[in-house]
Amino acid sequence: MKKRSIGFLALASIAGVVLLLVLVMGRQNTRHRNQIQKTMRSASMTPAQTKPVHLYFSDKDSQFLMAENRVLKSPQDPEFFARSIIEALIKGPQQGLTRTLPAATVIRAIFVTQEGTCFVDLTSAVTENHPGGIQSELLTIYSIVNSLVLNVPQIKAVKILINGTEAMTLAGHIDLEIPIKANMLLIR
């Protein structure tokens, strides 16, 4: 009789823990969904203004980054401004510089924390279609990082994700496991 009650008690405890985990995970997902919906609503209510920006693309020799001046829509929400910057990088340069992101790359999500870290989630096309090589990888990463950090005041560092998960590298050379700050030494 005691074995049954102990077994029942153990089973009830396990069921309680599982139920608690399901509730906690559901609340986190709901909180995340609510935050995304709030961001989407705020962008549609914010009047779009334009702002001059410096987008960083590779020079013709793929040695350095060079600024290309553009005027982009800049809603007051930093996530949407960051999205427009990354979309412009994906479309490529307009003034004779070299593309740094593969054209097939798609933005999955962008989120800016209160501490100033911008999470940029890209599809795997950014790695699958990347030309490879350490210098090319360096220019791709800092094209994204410098374009965001130097144009969006709320962004202090960038964390690049691939298909919603942390990636060790983009093309096998540069560590992506920690947020990256701007690198002015690559700009000419």
Task: Reply yes or no on whether the pLDDT at 42 is more than 50.
Answer: no
pLDDT of amino acid 27? 53
pTM surpassing 0.85?
no
Positive/negative CA dihedral, 29, 31, 37, 42:
negative
Q: How confident is the prediction for the chain on average, in pLDDT?
A: 84
Assign residue 163 a region: left if phi > 0, alpha if psi is -120 to 50, beta otherwise?
Answer: left
> What does the pLDDT look like over 79-138, one tens digit per residue?
999 999 999 999 999 999 999 999 999 999 999 999 999 999 999 999 998 898 899 999
What residue segments make up the domains of the chain, in order of their start? 1-45, 50-186
Return the pLDDT at 12. Answer: 56
pLDDT for 63 equals: 96
pLDDT over 60 at 158, yes or no: yes
- Cβ 71 vs Cβ 51: under 8 Å: yes
**pLDDT by residue (tens digit) across 109-125?**
999 999 999 999 999 99
